[in-house]
Amino acid sequence: MSTFVSNDVASGATIFASDHNEMGARIAAVVNGGLDDSNIAPGAAINGSKMANNTLDIGAKASAFNGWVLAVGSWTYSSYDSTNKTGVFTVPSDATTVYSPGMHLRFSQPTDGTKYGIITKVATTTLTVYLGTDYDLDNESISSVYFSVVKAPLGFPLDPAKWTVEVSSSSDRSTTSTTYVSLTDSISVPIGSFKVSLLAALAAVVATTNIRQVRVALSSSTTAVSDNELVGYCQGVGVAGTVGASISVQKNITVASATTYTMIGLSGASTTMQVLGSSATPTILRAVCAYL
């Protein structure tokens, strides 16, 4: 029968702790004192993640609690369209296996520091990014690049106004043409998916008692309707005079290149079509990035 000797236990415990980087004591400290990676010896494996120099290594070096993931490799300036606030970045190949339209972006440049954008087009070695109202892509170094697949990563500006192209007019427009003509106001829709809309006060000035209809549309053509879902109208019936209505049309569209959408209109015979921007309802053409 063997004899239990306390000194042997103490000796064995010392050896065990030494051989296992004192994991028993460290884990106890974590349980009793809260999760703190400094309590875990370097190199210890916990649930498959590696603790190295007290830093959690999860492959892409994600900042796991704020939604951002550090991008791999060097990014450089390729081009910038200041009219459409769209920048093109040259990135490591193959970008199509890592990024997709709609991902959010954060990066830094010497001019203006931290900037944000939304990826709208992906090619093998380039990314097209919509930079909204507040940011520009300068022809200079690019650093600290992070991307995100979540809707609201920490710090990303979610105000739709910052990711909107808008033209508002208080001018009046009119035509007696019975075929579509340009009514001047237009917006340039950047590359990607956008919700485009038209809001206008529309009137038909009818000279006879016949039924007359007037129409306006938001179209990529200045002489024809490019999308029947972006057409609004009002109609005068039975009596001569003026009939009016506030019209609003909208639709999500996707464009492969920056595309101009113009407000166009037509009138019925013996009728004047009017868009009354000077009324209580200004004429508004708008495109809001659909990836928000």
Q: What is the pLDDT of residues 231-287, one digit of tens each?
A: 999 876 656 678 888 999 999 999 999 999 999 999 988 889 999 999 888 999 999
| Dihedral (CA of 178, 270, 176, 262) sign | negative
Residues 11 and 74 in one domain: no
Residue 283 domain flag: yes
Both tokens of residue 19?
């051989």
Which of 172-176, 243-247, 288-292 shows the lowest mean pLDDT across its residues?
243-247
Residues 220 and 270 in one domain: yes
Q: What is the pLDDT of residues 75-95, one digit of tens each?
A: 999 999 999 999 999 999 999
Residue 55 domain flag: no
Query: What pLDDT was estimated at residue 205?
Result: 87
Choose the final residue of a domain: 124, 158, 192.
158
Residue 61 domain flag: no
Residues 193 and 274 in one domain: yes
Residues 181 and 149 in one domain: no
Percent helix / strand / coil, the chain, rounded to 5: 15, 45, 40
Residue 12 domain flag: yes
Residues 123 and 224 in one domain: no
Interval 107-123 mean pLDDT: 98
Query: Closest Cα partner for 183 from 226, 154, 136, 217?
Result: 217
Query: What pLDDT was estimated at residue 198?
Result: 98
The CATH number for 105's domain is 2.40.10
Residue 150 domain flag: yes
Bridge partners of residue 193, in order along the sequence? 254
Q: Band of the pLDDT at 64, cuts 50, 70, 90?
A: low
Measured distance between the N- and C-terminal CA atoms of the chain, rounded to whole angstroms: 75
Query: What pLDDT was estimated at residue 54?
Result: 39
How far is Cα 158 from Cα 144, in angstroms, rounded to an integer?
A: 21
- Could you tell me the residue range of the domain that residue 8 belongs to? 1-38
Residues 148 and 263 in one domain: no
Residues 154 and 168 in one domain: no
Residues 168 and 279 in one domain: yes
- The count of domains in the chain is 3
Residues 233 and 254 in one domain: yes
Choose the final residue of a domain: 96, 124, 158.
158
Query: What pLDDT was estimated at residue 140?
Result: 98
Residue 126 domain flag: yes
- DSSP symbols for 196-240: EEEEEEEEEEESSSS-EEEEEEEESSSSS-S-GGGEEEEEE-SSS
Choose the final residue of a domain: 101, 132, 158.
158
Q: Band of the pLDDT at 20, cuts 50, 70, 90?
A: very low
Is residue 17's pLDDT more than 90?
Answer: no
Residues 167 and 285 in one domain: yes
